[in-house]
Structure 1
Amino acid sequence: MSRNKINWRVPKGAELTELDKKVLYFQNKGHLVPSRKLIKTPEQIEGIRKSGIINTGVLDLVAQEIHAGMSTAEIDKLVYDYTVSHGAIPAPLNYEGFPKSVCTSINEVVCHGIPSEEEILEEGDIINVDVSTILDGYYSDASRMFIIGKTTPEKEKLVRVAKECLEIGMQAAQPFGFVGDIGNAIEKHAKKNGFSVVRDLCGHGVGLEFHEEPDVEHFGRKGTGMLLVPGMVFTIEPMINMGTWEVFIDEEDGWTVVTEDEKPSAQWEHTFLMTEHGLEILTY
């Protein structure tokens, strides 16, 4: 294996901890390891956890209210009002120019759909609602799929398998395993069910910023990518397509990601804390 950059640095004169010894073992073998700043302190973890409670509350509210005939702008208002009333900030709002508080992605829209008064939910639609919250400087991130009324068996299967992919990716993520283990497990399950995995977008570290290292790809080989170390916080958010994995970005708004063949896509996302025993879910 090729030698990677040195990320894990022990302060001069400091005594090696058991964690240091484990991480240095993998680094000396040439594996990519996180930097110390990616290992969250107990105080930071508690802050992210509190942010995640509000984030989950937002999605619970959307689940109660979402229905056919509702505009995605109404979803945006629900998200904004709930978030600010709990002393938090919707992370997407004005992030790199994004104009709304939530991403609403319907049917063939993979992600980053912009809420609109003109976009009305119809019977049979599937929609991903992606919510991110900042509380006291700490970030959390999650999304859920919703089926509006009754949809086709094919769309139902897509939504179900996408959720299974998230759960399987979670099971594959183990302390001192690798990011590639997650993607490998997800891709296998998607392909087994006749679906594809989007390759142009991925999960990510989160907590002190909206997007941190590592990139969590949802395809790949076991034993590759960054070492997963207790204290890391990141999302797993597989985007599963009914047809091709290829996508394009809408030229008009510069945000909306759509499947190349305009067949449906589904996505579920949680924020996770890596512990010594596996993943803890911080947002649902």
Structure 2
Amino acid sequence: MKEALSMIEDDEDFCRKTEEIILYPPLNACEDLTDEDSGDEFDLSLNNLPRSQLRAASEVKFHSDDEWSSDDDVPLSTLTKSSKHIRNNNAKDKKKYNWENIDLTPETSTFENETIVGNRMTPIDLFSLFFYDSLLQLILDKTEYYAQTKNRTQLIEMSELKAFLGVLILSGYAQLPRHNAALNQQDKFAKLRPLFEHLNKKLLELAPHEQDHSVDEAMVPYYGRHGCKQYIHGKPIRYGYKLWTGTTRLGYVIWFDPYQGASIEKTSDFGVGATVVLNYANVLQERWPNTAFHLYFDNYFTSVPLLEEL
């Protein structure tokens, strides 16, 4: 691994043509020793990865040699799929479309009751909106349960938990236990899934009512050790977790889901990107039924079957 990286770094032409380098998560992220490192725990370079990550698949994407400088500028008609993401033989892919040269007629429905939320709260007030009492009680219950599995009695007060969370926010790092009961082996974020579900529920509950929404990916910076950490070359945030996000036009996050790798992602016949859009559309419809929204997303998510489904 170290020698291979050295060769890549020394090849200027390789670095210039490289668009992104993706390290896929290992398949045993919920098993033992997922956080064990192959070297000094304070060495956070790519030369210092756990054995499971070193054996995981990786992918290098190069810039195309044509006039287009990025995938965002490439027309849909010229995009091609890599051999790893060959279309499945299903009815949607084989469906034939009859194209007509006509203007689209927009719907004249009126979007009502749009809300604008001001921010006059203190940081602790905003924090309390999402980390409310029932969520904190869940953390306390899981902590006490874990202590019992270790034959210990650990009673923690709510005030102690809040102080501990404050320390984690200031330090920016939390090392989770490697063993837990009844984990979903297909979910690499099984230990954090209850927290994600609580936050998504609260984000949706407090969301402003707006017509325009964006579906895209976001990077959460992280330099520690975890099987789902991504490295994407040429991005402002190169190391961290990639999240699928649905937001309002002003950037308020309504829904998010961490990316776990192509081999784990739950997708429909439409593909990974289109499934993300449809999942977010379902979230909006459940929250505001019988309301018409405008969804914006780039060509990574776009396909003709998706547009027809929407």
Tell whether the structures are fold-level matches, with TM greater than 0.5.
no
Going by fraction, where is strand more abundant, 1 or 2? 1
Computing the radius of gyration from Cα coordinates, the structure with the larger value is 2
TM-score w.r.t. the length of structure 2 is 0.28
